[in-house]
Homo-oligomer: A and B are copies of this chain.
Amino acid sequence: MPTNLVLTKKPKGVTVIEGFPGFGLVGTIATGFLIDHLKCEQIGRGFFEDPPATIAIHDCKLVDPVGIFYNKQHNLVIIHAITATSGIEWKAADLVLDVCAQLGAKELITIEGVGSPAMAGEPRAFHYCTSKNNEKKMIAAKIEHLGEGIIVGVTSALLLKAPKTYPISCVFSETHTNLPDSKAAAKVVQVIDKYIGLKVDYKPLLKQAAEFEQKLKSIIEQTGKAQELKDKKTLAYVG
């Protein structure tokens, strides 16, 4: 399982929240917001040795393809990924399960956007829990079941690869777009806040999520330009 994972600190008995891009980049935006908001420290990083090799710089700092962060107050580990998952879902799931195993995680919360063809008003959120206890907590927090649907991406690979009794709690948020969707991500943050009691200050939430959306958009734009240049370049290459 060579997931190129490095952990510099190993808190035990943590709750792990993971967010890979997926639909509307919901997982990436939501975990990015939580990291900033909960003032987490970075305790690890990971990457996948797949082409093309890319790494982002934001605000003069490296943004790891997969960053692993820790919030001591809530004994919470957040896996924040900006790397595309298309084709590497299984490896991404291995990395997440490896983090959980090394930290003896007591629960894994996954974030995924689900497509919603005709969406109006605030996006809805749904849950799916492998454990009855967590399911009760979700229902108590008034978060609906995902009744029918096809789950794709890292969440799907996690549900398949983890033992069936492993406590995975999936949070889904409706999104109708492939662009970064900060509203759907904000909904996810509200749900997780209600579910595990993070006491997030609600007022700046949407505003901050929108700012994070902007940050991601600028990264995406530059990736696009880099890719464009790269595509042209191969013509002129030596070798």
Contacts and interface: CB of A to CB of B under 8 A. Distances in A.
B223 A159 contact: no
9 contacts: A23-B229, A49-B90, A53-B89, A55-B156, A60-B145, A83-B239, A115-B228, A150-B219, A178-B229
Contacts of A4: 160-161
Contact of A84 (B56, B90, B178, B237): B237
Given A62-B159, A147-B59, A152 B86 contact: no
Contacts of A115: 225-226, 228-229
Contacts of A57: 128, 146-151
For the residues of A in contact with B, the DSSP-based class is mixed
A6 B164 contact: yes
Interface residues of A, number: 72
B59 A148 contact: yes
Interface of A: 4, 6, 21-23, 25, 28, 45, 47, 49, 51-60, 62, 65, 82-84, 86-87, 89-90, 93, 115, 117, 128, 145-154, 156-157, 159-161, 163-164, 178-180, 216, 218-220, 222-223, 225-226, 228-230, 232-239
10 A-B pairs with the lowest CB-CB distances in the bound complex, closest first: A84-B239, A53-B157, A53-B89, A83-B239, A84-B237, A53-B156, A115-B229, A178-B233, A60-B145, A178-B236
B178 A54 contact: no
